[in-house]
Amino acid sequence: MQFTFRFPPINKLLPICLAAVTVVLIAYFGQQPSIAQVRSNVTVDFGQPATGIVSMSGFLHGIDPAKPPDSSVKPLQPKLWRVGRLDVYDRVIASGAEFQLLVSDLWGYGSNPKGWPYQNYPAWEAFIRQLAQQNKGKKIIWDIWNEPDLKNPFWKGSRAQFFETYKRAYKILREELGPSATIGGPSISTYSKEYLTAFLDYCKANKLEVNFLAWHELNDTIILFVDDHVFDAKRNYQQSPFYKELKLQKIYVNEIVGELAQYQPGEILGYLYNLEYAKADGACRACWDTTGTQKVSNCFNNTLTGTVTPNTFEPRAAWWTYKAYADGVNSRVLSQSDNDRLVALASKSNPEGKAQVLLGYFDRNYSSAATVTLNLANLPALGIQSGQKVSLKLEKIPNNLERAVQKLVMVKEEKISVGSGSLTYVIPNFNVHEGYLLTVSK
């Protein structure tokens, strides 16, 4: 059996004061690997603010004009919302999120009298024109079609027919809405450099803009590479002089978190960390069917894509994960883990004015627990001086699947004396798929 460990590239190593050393002990016995506990080191520098941070809190569908209540939505501070309906526009804008309209949802996917756009281009153009005229003055990001690379169920035509469909929609939207309208795509189901290049080359040849580039990251086995995809797209497309005339302003990964990971705090944080690190311009949590025998889509049951329970809107572990993430995004400080499957998002001040470290551990192939040593540096930046005691509260975000989680699981609370402006804190038995939140205060 071969084991491959992915070392982070040089540009993924954040410049922090303290060095970290990894000791990973792995043993294999028979067909099933038996793995010694992983030892991981995380360093946090509260005196080094992270710059240019963009929140990756966002959702696909998941609401109607009234449900779930604002008390479920507001703590998650969404920044991007991708929907296929217009009656939630006011609510999305009021939440503070950008409104990305999935035009193809309004048209339908072949099972309606209109058929597919390529079967009746004049009808498609008339539909786009009416839609644009009815929504002038609204702040809409126009996403033309969902996953045109998937024959089943979203696109039965050829690639060339999708490109033509985009061209016709683009020209009418630009004609009706003017040069400031934000229009883009192609919102394919995975990062395909070949497909994206073909799409952008077509747009360049036909003098069409692509104001945002979008694709989906839904393969829970390659969470480690979602940041690489963003870096690759920036380098080859957004920053390329060859594509300058496309006016490519933003990169949205407008569906993230696959079906297997939809309720798992560790994996969710893996997605959020890597996309934030790569400085994508926004992301939307995807929605999947429930896991019970009677499948129900979390897209359309008003559960914020499965983060709260149906009807009663009780929070799940996924909701607490997004809340803890949102609590810290505006005061992010530099952090580094020597295990790229154990991510750390550290912040100087949450809404309660306390520092926090949010940790997630994900791995689809192995189930070893981890012992995590946190090196908390530059505590004087929090107003905590050497010789003083610091209050530490450790809470677990459990891997509780669809069950409600009324509050985080308290692990321990204690006061520890600070020496030389820093301290070391150990979290034993950190299970894969879980998350932890360490709150630090005077």
Predicted local confidence at residue 33, as pLDDT = 42
CATH number of the domain where residue 394 is located: 2.60.40.1180
Residues 171 and 281 placed together within one structural domain of the fold: yes
In a domain, 90, yes or no: yes
3 occurs within a structural domain = no
How far apart CA 435 and CA 400 sit, in angstroms, is: 11
Average pLDDT of the residues of the chain: 92
Beta bridge partners of 391: 415, 441
pTM: 0.92
- Whether 220 and 258 have beta carbons less than 8 Å apart is answered as yes
For tokens 């060339």, the residue is 160
Nearest to 57 by CA among 300, 358, 292, 342: 358
* Amino acid making up residue 145: W
Q: Which amino acid is at 101?
A: L
Whether residue 353 is found in the same domain as residue 376 = yes
- Digit-coded pLDDT (tens) for 163-206: 999 999 999 999 999 999 999 999 999 999 999 999 999 999 99
> HSE on the CB side for 295, CA within 13 Å?
6
> Is 1 part of a structural domain of the chain?
no
**Is residue 2 a part of any domain in this protein?**
no
| Distance, CA of 184 to CA of 251 (rounded, Å) | 10
Domain boundary, last residue among 275, 301, 329: 329
Looking at the fold, whether 40 and 179 belong to one and the same domain comes out as no
Do residues 353 and 320 both lie within one domain?
Answer: no
Interior/surface letters 30-54, b for 16+ CB within 10 angstroms, e for the rest? eeeeebeebbbbbbbbbbbebeebb
Residue 4 placed within a domain = no
**Joined tokens for residue 132:** 């644009």
Which positions ≥6 away from 405 have C-beta within 8 Å?
Answer: 315, 316, 317, 319, 320, 397, 398
* Contact yes or no for 254/143 (Cβ under 8 A): yes
Is residue 398 in some structural domain? yes
Instruction: Say yes or no: 91 and 64 in one domain.
Output: yes
Instruction: Give yes or no: residues 157 and 245 share one domain.
Output: yes
62 and 45 inside one domain? no
47 & 68 share domain: no
| Residue 248 covered by a domain | yes
For residue 137, the Cα-to-chain-centroid distance in whole angstroms is 29
Quick check: is 5 in a domain? no
- Whether 162 and 241 map to the same domain: the answer is yes
- Same structural domain for residues 271 and 387? no
172 and 68 in a single domain? The answer is yes
CATH number where 136 lies: 3.20.20.80
Full residue range of the structural domain in which residue 411 is found = 10-51+331-441
> Helix crossing, 226-233 with 265-278: angle to 10°?
20
Q: Residues 56-99: pLDDT tens digits?
A: 999 999 999 999 999 999 999 999 999 999 999 999 999 999 99
Supply 86's token pair: 């217009």
pLDDT digits (tens, 9 = 90+) for 297-320: 999 999 999 999 999 999 999 999
The answer to whether residues 418 and 390 touch, using CB atoms and an 8 Å cutoff, is yes
Q: Could you report the per-residue pLDDT of 274-286, keeping only the tens digit for each?
A: 999 999 999 999 9
* Domain total of the chain: 2
